[in-house]
Amino acid sequence: MLGKKCIGIIGGTGPAGLGMALRLGVSGHEVVVGSRDEKRGADCVKNLKEGNLDQNIAISGSDNAEASKCETVIVATPWDATIETLKPLKANLEGKKVVSMVNALMKTLGELEPLIPGRGSMALEIQRVLPKSLVIGAFHHLPAANLNDLAHELSEDVAVFGDNKEAVLDTANIVNSISGLRAIYVGSLSQGLAVESFTAVLVSASIKNKGHVSIKFTGLDSIGSNL
C-alpha cells in the first residue's frame, strides 16, 4: 500500500480528525483514519458511516502506521502527543506531504491560551522530527463541530503555510476541493507561531459567544496568485 494516492489522518479518531475524514471523504478523496489501536480506528469509521452517509464513500479506519503510508498525511493528534506519535512513523513519512493541524493550547479560566513549543510552533517541531518530510500547516482554525455536521454549509478560509511550493499548492488543492473552504497562502513554515496561537482567540471567542468561530479573509484571491 506504500505510496498509494490517499490521505491518511494520524490521530484521526478525535473530533478534528473524523471531521476532516468526513469532509474529505464526501469530496471524493480516499481517506485512512489512523489510531493507536487498529480496531478503534475501524470502529470509529463504522460509526461515522452509520446514518445517512453514502456507504460507498472511501473512508477506512486502521492504525496510525497504515494511515502514514498514504501520499499525504494530516496530523490531528493532541499537541503534547504529536512528536512521540510521529517518531516511529518517520520512515513511512519520508518525502511525503505532512499537513499539521495541531495547535498547542491550554485551557485556563474559561478560555484558551496558546503555548509556545520549543521551536516556536508545532509545525516547526514536526519538521524537526521529520526532516525529510514536506511539512505544511493548514486547517488549524476549523471548528470540528462545523466539520462533523454535514448539514452545516462551510464558508471559511484556511490559512496554508509551508516552505515547499509544490507541497503548499497540493495542500491548497485539497483545501479547495472541500466545498465551502478556500485556501489562503500565508507564508513559510515560520508563520506557524502566529497561525497556531491565533486559534486560542477563535476558540475563546467560540466559548464566550457560544458559537463555532472560524475565519474569513477579505481583499484576497485564493491561493495561487500570490505564490
Ligand X SMILES: NC(=O)c1ccc[n+]([C@@H]2O[C@H](COP(=O)([O-])OP(=O)(O)OC[C@H]3O[C@@H](n4cnc5c(N)ncnc54)[C@H](OP(=O)(O)O)[C@@H]3O)[C@@H](O)[C@H]2O)c1
Please name every residue paired with 183 in a beta bridge, in sequence order, or none if there are none: 158
Interaction with ligand X in 118-147: which residues (CB under 6 A)? 139-140, 142-144
Nearest residue relative to ligand X (C-beta): 14
User: Among residues 110 and 219, whose Cβ is nearest to ligand X?
Assistant: 110
14 near ligand X, judged by CB under 6 A = yes
151 to 190: interface string for ligand X, x by CB under 6 A: ----------------------------------------
36 binds ligand X (CB under 6 A): yes
**C-alpha grid cell, residue 89:** 512513523
Which amino acid appears at position 164 of this protein?
A: N
Residue of 21, 76, 89, 160 interacting with ligand X (CB under 6 A): 76
CA–CA gap between residue 6 and residue 42 (Å, rounded): 17
Given a contact cutoff of 8 angstroms between Cβ atoms, the answer to whether 176 and 29 are in contact is: no
- Whole-angstrom CA distances from 65 to 42, 158, 163, 175 are 14, 27, 25, 24
- Judged by CB under 6 A, which of 101, 134, 172, 178 binds ligand X? 101
- Nearest approach in angstroms of CB 206 to ligand X is 9
> By CB under 6 A, is residue 204 in contact with ligand X?
no
CB 106 within 8 A of CB 115: yes
Between CA 69 and CA 76 the distance in angstroms is 16
Can you give the binding site for ligand X, defined by CB under 6 A? Answer: 11, 13-17, 35-37, 40, 76-79, 81, 85, 101-103, 139-140, 142-144
